[in-house]
Each structure stands twice: as structure tokens, then as C-alpha cells.
Amino acid sequence: MNDGIWLPGVRRLPSPNCDERPPDSTVDLLVIHNISLPPGEFGGPWIEDLFLNRLDPQAHPYFAEIATLHVSAHLLIRRDGSTCQFVPLERRAWHAGVSCFAGRECCNDFSIGIELEGTDELPYTDAQYERLATLTQQIRAYYPAITPERITGHADIAPGRKTDPGPAFDWARYRSLLA
């Protein structure tokens, strides 16, 4: 699992929660998410523990509800901009769930998922925007089919089910950093 596309300067934490993409799938979508564990709290090992299947259900009441989930994203950007990669880019991370983009279902098959440590309502940090823009450019070097129009939020591919990255995410700021 350590083989594959791992971005330089990013801490590697290989998650078991991934698999091969379908044959002949083209990676052409980038999905921006947010996550905080426990909800609304930042720091700590909990996000990593969730993606590595080692979240202690006794550590917080909320964790009992989610400790058995098998989920992952390709990347996590912490509030300070530090970054972890859980899944090599060419493999399918389990981040989108039931989803649809431009009439195509199962977005995990053709997307890269990036989690921002945050919530829908709290502003993201300067460091997160800067790191997200850098990572986006690196990812697009591998997958040029990810055009600006093919960068979206989790809420856009799972409406009614997901709300992230939420109204606090400044899409105009992020897109200006990519220009």
C-alpha cells in the first residue's frame, strides 16, 4: 500500500480504507470536505484514528456512533496547514459516499478527496487555503482532467446528505489562489 502517488512533503499514514479504482476510470474530480472530531473541536489524533480504523469509541460519546465506519480521504489539511496523506492518489479513497457529479454516480471512483480540519461555520485558516491551493496544483499535475470546473464541495455531490465544506469556505479566495 506504500507504493503509488504520495505527494512530497506530506506525512504518510496509509489507511486500509481504500481500494482499486474501476478499470479505465479517469480521475477528473476534486472534492473538498471538512471534518472535526469531536464535532467542533480541533487538534488531537481523532481524525487520523478514524481514517486508520483505530478510533476509541470510549474516548468521546460521539465516537461510539462512528468508530465502526470505514472511511478515508486522500488528504487531510490541519488548521496549521500541516498535511497527512492516507491514500495514494491513484487508489480509491472512501470519502464521498452516495454521490453524483454531472450525472456520474459513485464519485469515489473518479475523484480525489481532501479534508480540511474545520466546520461549516468557522472560517478556515490562511495556512489551510495556501496548502489547499498548493496541493491542488500538485494533484492537477498528475490529473490534468481536474479542471477548475471539476473542483467541488461534498455538499455539491451529496446534496441533502452533506453540507461541507460549508458557507465558511471561501470559494472565491481558493479559486484566486489557483489562478
In a domain, residue 2? The reply is: no
In a domain, residue 75? The reply is: yes
User: 87-141 pLDDT, tens per residue?
Assistant: 999 999 999 999 999 999 999 999 999 999 999 999 999 999 999 999 999 999 9
- Which domain range does residue 84 map to? 11-178
β-bridge partners, 32: 114, 153
Residues with a catalytic annotation lie at 115
Tell me if 94 sits within 8 A of 33, measured CB to CB.
no
Cα angle 159-35-85, degrees, rounded to a multiple of 5 = 110
User: How many Å apart are CA 179 and CA 168, to the nearest integer?
Assistant: 21
pTM of the entire structure?
0.97
In a domain, residue 37? The reply is: yes
In a domain, residue 44? The reply is: yes
Mean pLDDT over 11-17 rounds to 98
User: How many Å apart are CA 114 and CA 138, to the nearest integer?
Assistant: 13
Residue 1's pLDDT is 43
Q: For the packed helices 171-178 and 126-142, what is the interaxial angle rounded to 10 degrees?
A: 50
In a domain, residue 1? The reply is: no
DSSP string, 13-25: ---SSEEPPPTT-
In a domain, residue 6? The reply is: no
In a domain, residue 140? The reply is: yes
- Tell the residue number behind the cell numbers 450525472, with chain if given: 103
In a domain, residue 126? The reply is: yes
Q: The CATH number of the domain where 59 resides is what? A: 3.40.80.10
Residue 157's pLDDT is 98
User: 38-58 pLDDT, tens per residue?
Assistant: 999 999 999 999 999 999 999
What's the count of helices (H) and strands (E) in the chain, helices before strands? Answer: 5, 10
Question: What total of structural domains would you count in the chain?
Answer: 1
Secondary structure letter of residue 25 according to DSSP = -
